Amino acid sequence: MSIDSATPPPPKQARNPLHGITLEAVVTALEAHYGWPGLAQRINIRCFASDPSVASSLKFLRKTPWARDKVESLYLYMLREQKRRG
């Protein structure tokens, strides 16, 4: 009796809109949609308000789970609004 050593593929995440989207793509899309001032207004973090850039935002967001959660939530909200508007 042998046990198959191959690991099964990870479950598909068809219902997860963030699956396959990088954090860089999320930040870039939010910046394009709201601009840095709009992002700083919606999420009060310094990397959006003071000398903002994608690189500095990514560095901060990768180290700060609560801020990343807020950014991902805003991204999902933006996608829902875009879908609703047609």
pTM over 0.85: no
The domains of the chain are located at: 23-85
Residue 20: which region, alpha, beta or left (left: phi > 0; alpha: psi -120 to 50)? left
- DSSP symbol at 10: P
- The CATH code for residues 23-85 is 1.10.720.30
Walk along the chain (86 residues) and give the pLDDT tens digit of each residue. 555 556 666 666 667 888 889 999 999 999 999 999 999 999 999 999 999 999 999 999 999 999 999 999 999 999 999 989 87
- Distance (Å, rounded) from C-alpha 44 to C-alpha 36? 11
Between CA 67 and CA 58 the distance in angstroms is: 11
Nearest residue to 67 via CA among 26, 29, 33, 32: 26
